[in-house]
Amino acid sequence: MKYYFKQFTLLLFLFLLACEGTKTNDCATTDEGRGHVVSVLPFGKISANFLTDFLNDNNIDIGIIPVSDVKVYSIVYETVDWNGDPRQASGAIYVPDEDNSDTEYSLYSSHHGTETKRTNVASITPLRGFDAVFAASIGYIGISPDFLGMGISTDVFHPYIHKFVAEGVVDMLRATKNFACGNDIQLNDQLFLTGYSEGGYVTMATHKLIEGSYSEEFTVTGSAPMAGPYDLITQANWILAKESFPYPSYAGYNGKSYNTIYGWNRAYSELFKSPYAERIPELFDGTKSTGEINDQLEQVTADFYNSKFLSDYLGDGELDLKNAYRENSNHDWTPIAPIRMFHGNADEAVNYQCAVIALEKIKANGGDIKLTTIPNGTHGSSVFISYAGAITWFNTLK
């Protein structure tokens, strides 16, 4: 679950960034523990002209005309894992390059799609925080969390499509507040959340977590989850009932994530057939991209999954896994802030019905939620249309 842009542009972008200084500390509004800033590394500036050329050269329309240059920072902050053990995580912060003294900024938190290669994140390659960069160019403070288990977080596995990932996003928001305090940047009370694919799931999970557990710290102004698997039972049933699925890496990633978090200690041979089961630990070691992993797995459902697992899951078995999916779904709750979802109805990676079900459930619960359906939109073709819709809506609330 990821979005794509031309790889040569990423390489070019790295050369255009100029580092300007060494690590600094925040003003310690959080002295220790979750959200405390460990270090900040300035990554230089991205010019508005470069951003404009990027959009024009790649024929991209995301509803933004860049206005200001953007200063980029790579940040390391304290967080915890699902056992409550202290960890460090990383991300990127994007700040308009202007006189910040008389401006109060809204926060724009962008959540990336599925990524298995630990270094393919915004704290290392800043343009991977794609929309957050452009949001900063029109007056937001943009942030892009790498997520726990990604970036510098090498000592823990990424909680892929698990609600706990939202806890790390909250700690990134805390760290951003600390960073802003230490750099004389004023923040207002507005917080916008968005993301595509896995990032859509994370956006919905973060919105739900903040309003349920951290409303005294943050107030969500609006969230725009895009192409996310909010109902995990519906998503899993859809994939397993298919004759083939083009992204087998998703299943391996999710299998290792849940096996790790819940301590099931299941042999991967219980889930997948040989030789794919034996490949899972090495494939998901953080050094390989999703494309590389897909090439080492099998798309045909009957050839990839263990036959007993398939019959059990599609029948009355695999109750622990099904219960975990229900526990981590976020399609049935009552938000306070408005939600605007975006999803292509020809999505081959994430079931469009996940968005339809979330719309129906949350609306029935009294939530302010709408779904923009992208006609014939695939997982790839709907990306920039979704971002353009999200930022256009955010600007009406800003």
CA angle at 241 for the pair 238 and 246, rounded to the nearest 5°: 75
- Residue 30 has a pLDDT of 56
- Ordered by where they begin, the domains of the chain are 7-228 (3.40.50.1820), 232-327 (1.10.260.160)
- Contact in structure between 136 and 94 (CB atoms under 8 Å): yes
Give how far Cα 256 sits from Cα of 153, 160, 238, 246, 292, Å.
Answer: 17, 9, 20, 19, 17
Strand 140-145 to 86-96 pairing: antiparallel
Q: Angle 232-240/353-364 helices, nearest 10 degrees?
A: 160
Going across the sheet that includes 339-344, the strands are: 37-46, 70-80, 86-96, 140-145, 104-111, 186-196, 220-226, 339-344, 369-374
Cα 182 from Cα 362, distance rounded (Å): 39
Strands (E) across the chain are located at 37-46, 70-80, 86-96, 104-111, 140-145, 186-196, 220-226, 339-344, 369-374
Burial classification of residue 102, based on how many CB atoms lie within 10 Å of its CB (0-12 exposed, 13-18 middle, 19 or more buried): exposed
- Residue 29 has a pLDDT of 53
Beta-bridged to residue 45, according to DSSP, are 71
Place of tokens 């790649």: 58
In the three-class reduction of DSSP (H, G, I as helix; E, B as strand; rest coil), residue 320 is classed as: helix
**330 DSSP assignment:** -
pLDDT in tens, the chain (398 residues): 433 343 334 433 433 443 333 334 444 455 679 999 999 999 999 999 999 999 999 999 998 999 999 999 999 999 999 999 999 999 999 999 988 778 999 999 999 999 999 999 999 999 999 899 999 999 999 999 999 999 999 999 999 999 999 999 999 999 999 999 999 999 999 999 999 999 999 999 999 999 999 999 999 999 999 999 999 999 999 999 999 999 999 999 999 999 999 999 999 999 999 999 999 999 999 999 999 999 999 999 999 999 999 999 999 999 999 999 999 999 999 999 999 999 999 999 999 999 999 999 999 999 999 999 999 999 999 999 999 999 999 999 99
